[in-house]
Amino acid sequence: MFELSISTSFAAAHRLDNYQGKCEALHGHNWKVEVTVKAEHLNDIGIAIDFKDLKAITNRILDGLDHTCLNDIYPFTEINPSSENIAKYLYEELEKQLTDFPVTVEKTSVWESDNAWAVYYR
């Protein structure tokens, strides 16, 4: 089994409804993102997925979040845009967009700061 990972980032504001603390107020983060996929086999040139393709697909998803207020974007109009929910959202969006590649999403990690992050996997 092979695992491949990329990292990228985006900037966005959010607030956590019903948090009862500072994070209930609108504030921003420079979010760091890591995506890990897995593959059982390599293609005839010895790769599972080109890193540039994985990063491009991830960045296309994140472009919809970048420099926004996450609370204004579905599904975060329905659920809090916590690091946990952002990681799950990214995982599910990647699953939909990687169907043409011989990889599966292993996990997504989202950092809201250097010392705090969430990981989603199934």
* Beta pairing, strands 27-39 & 104-113: antiparallel
Give how far Cα 39 sits from Cα of 10, 36, 45, 106, 120, Å: 26, 10, 14, 9, 18
- Point out the catalytic residue in the list 23, 69, 84, 92: 23
Question: Is 34 in the active site?
Answer: no
> pTM here?
0.95
**Could you report the per-residue pLDDT of 10-44, keeping only the tens digit for each?**
999 999 999 999 999 999 999 999 999 999 999 99
Question: Is 69 in the active site?
Answer: no
Q: Once rounded to an integer, what is the mean pLDDT over residues 37-57? A: 97
Domain borders along the chain are 2-120
Contacts of 18 (CB under 8 A, 6+ apart): 24, 80
Contacts of 60 (CB under 8 A, 6+ apart): 97
Q: What is the pLDDT of residue 31?
A: 98
Using DSSP's 3-state secondary structure scheme, residue 88 falls into: helix
Burial class (CB in 10 A: 0-12, 13-18, 19+), 32: middle
Q: Could you say which architecture CATH assigns to the domain 2-120?
A: 2-Layer Sandwich (3.30)
* 116 confidence band (pLDDT: 50, 70, 90): very high
79 in Cβ contact with 62 (< 8 Å): no
Question: Is 23 in the active site?
Answer: yes
- Point out the catalytic residue in the list 14, 67, 93, 95: 67
CA dihedral 101, 106, 112, 116 (to 10 degrees): -160
Q: Once rounded to an integer, what is the mean pLDDT over residues 54-83? A: 98
| Residue whose entry in the numeric block shows the structure tokens 């043409």 | 100
